[in-house]
Amino acid sequence: MDLTEGVGESSSPPRSFGSGSNHDLRNDVYNRFIEIGHEEAVSNPELFRKHIDSHFNRLPASYGLDVNMDKVEDVLLHQKLLAMAKDPERRPVYHIRFLEKLCTKTEGNGEQQFITMTPIPRPACDTDDEGVVPSQKRIKDCTIEFEPCSKLEDLNLDVRKSSKDMEERYHSGDVSRRLEVSHVPIHEFIFSTVDKPKLLSQLSALLSDIGLNIREAHVFSTTDGYSLDVFVVDGWPSEDTDGLYKAMEEAVARNEGSWSGPSHPRSSIDKASAAGAKLGDWEIDRRLLKIGERIASGSCGDLYHGVYFGQDVAIKIFRSEQLNDTQEEEFAQEVAILREVQHRNVVRFIGACAKSPHLSIVTEFMPRGSLYDYLHKNHNILELPQLLKFVIDVCKGMDYLHQNNIIHRDLKTANLLMDTQNVVKVADFGVARFQNQGGVMTAETGTYRWMAPEIINHLPYDQKADVFSFAIVLWELVTAKVPYDSMTPLQAALGVRQGLRPDLPQNAHPKLLDLMQRCWETVPDKRPSFSEITVELETLLQESQTCQESAEANNRN
């Protein structure tokens, strides 16, 4: 999506996820296990703490919102599920438990009102050795009591509000029609398997297949490619979990092909040609999207903050009045690329609505916004260690794309987004392309201030065009300035054609200055690859950290 020059697809301002840090939460969890006398925590506290830290390191910061300190045993259950998911023969691993009964009252006209949540004690019974359930093996329940995920926004706030109003009317006598009381059993499913695009839709389909309605969904992706997905559901007629396990086993068996490992990589030509035909594989129901505030606008569409099954998402909506064959082809191309990529430093694809005229693309929401906003709107000046961490993230994401024969073609700070932990991810694949073997690209695309001279001159170009753009990004992070800020975009492009480059900052690290100049070489073959750049930057970061530690030690002495 071509957004305003220099702005791009930025995200909304940061949101707080709580007053404490993840580190503080880990301390609380660990201390809670010690307080309750957990056997492993007491017998080997150092190893137990290491396992807790490792678990939280794998998961996003939002996972902490679901940790109930009165029921910290859930953390161990999640650990076991994720561990079992490493076995391909067991995927998807899942655990089912009865939570409570929802007391409802039905009016004479058949309209149902949800009044109160009535907790039902869970019976304790024997567990198997592992206490968790692979898809081929089930257990009835476990001796630990659990609670549902309760600290994220309830997806049924409107229902509960009206239920509260109805309850007040009922107790005050202001109900003219007869009410019949019934109880709806509520269950919880916890899944773990290999993370992949469209996984949420697959799991939702499994639950729907056995007649369940999703009330809440809490979705987490680990840093090493696995998922932990928690669903609160109704629709099962009793508290019984045996029948649910059997029904789920049958549903998984009917869809066994969906859980097989990834197919062998296809050529870039095959990927591009299959774009239009494969869109349906990733289509999501537009009715399930809750569209919130608009956070960016472009020439052909708008970007919104939204919610999908309780998960914050970014929704790019293409304007229907401007759709044409070319834009529909570009939409298909962008989806084709997004569905092929999965990396810690690339924004995660969730799905797409591919039914014209309501074309939209849904990706993970990046609450800390873009590096462009971070630098130029928030006026942050980066210290060397943080700067290096940012650019290393960029290089790792770009190296992954290049290893998969993808050219981004619009690399700039506006398309580099940050998550809650300041991890930078490459975003906006609106003009990205697969680099066909033997193919030649000459089209002018991207944003002038960051554009390589070979693209401006309509010469053949390859992945090294992205390296040139990275050089401008690096300069921007070092100086906290907009490149060529005294020129219009077109003037900047004409200058780059004639050999113009940004002025080198005087106080920058000499190795960064040298890297900039090599990356913006006029001859593309003279520019380093992203894998080479990553090695250089990681070495520099290590040197910087060593110097800082030595300086701190000297100050203490």
pLDDT of the residue at 501: 97
> Which domains are present in the chain?
81-258 (no CATH), 274-364 (3.30.200.20), 371-556 (1.10.510.10)
Structure tokens at 411: 């690399």
Largest Cα–Cα separation, the chain: 83
User: What are the strands of the beta sheet with 311-318, ordered from one edge?
Assistant: 289-297, 301-308, 311-318, 360-364, 349-353
The residue with greater pLDDT, 255 or 106, is 255
Residue 309's SS3 state is coil
Tell me the pLDDT tens digit for each residue of 124-172. 333 344 444 454 443 333 333 333 333 333 333 343 444 444 445 444 4
pLDDT of the residue at 60: 87
Residue 36 CA to residue 30 CA, distance in Å, equals 10
Query: Of 410, 419, 428, 466, which one is the catalytic site residue?
Result: 410
Tell me the pLDDT tens digit for each residue of 521-556. 999 999 999 999 999 999 999 998 888 777 777 777
Tell me the pLDDT tens digit for each residue of 429-481. 888 888 764 456 666 677 899 999 999 988 999 999 999 999 999 999 999 99
Helix (H) or strand (E) holding 105, with range, is: strand 93-107
Cα 41 versus chain centre, distance? 32
Which candidate, 100, 99, 82, places its Cα nearest to that of 91?
82
Looking at the chain, the whole-number percentage of residues with pLDDT higher than 90 is: 43
pLDDT of the residue at 299: 65
pLDDT of the residue at 270: 35
Tell me the pLDDT tens digit for each residue of 499-514. 999 999 998 999 999 9
The predicted model scores a pTM of 0.54
pLDDT of the residue at 119: 40
Query: Buried (b) or exposed (e) across 13-41, using 16+ Cβ within 10 A?
Result: eeeeeeeeebeebbeebbebbeeeebeeb
In contact, 229 and 201? CB cutoff 8 Å: no
The average confidence (pLDDT) of the chain is: 78
Residue 304's SS3 state is strand
pLDDT score of 263 more than 70: no
In contact, 502 and 484? CB cutoff 8 Å: yes
Hey, how many other C-beta atoms are within 10 angstroms of the C-beta on 45?
14
pLDDT score of 110 more than 80: no
- Give the list of residues 6+ apart from residue 464 with CB closer than 8 angstroms, or none: 452, 524, 525, 527
The reply to whether 514 belongs to the active site is no
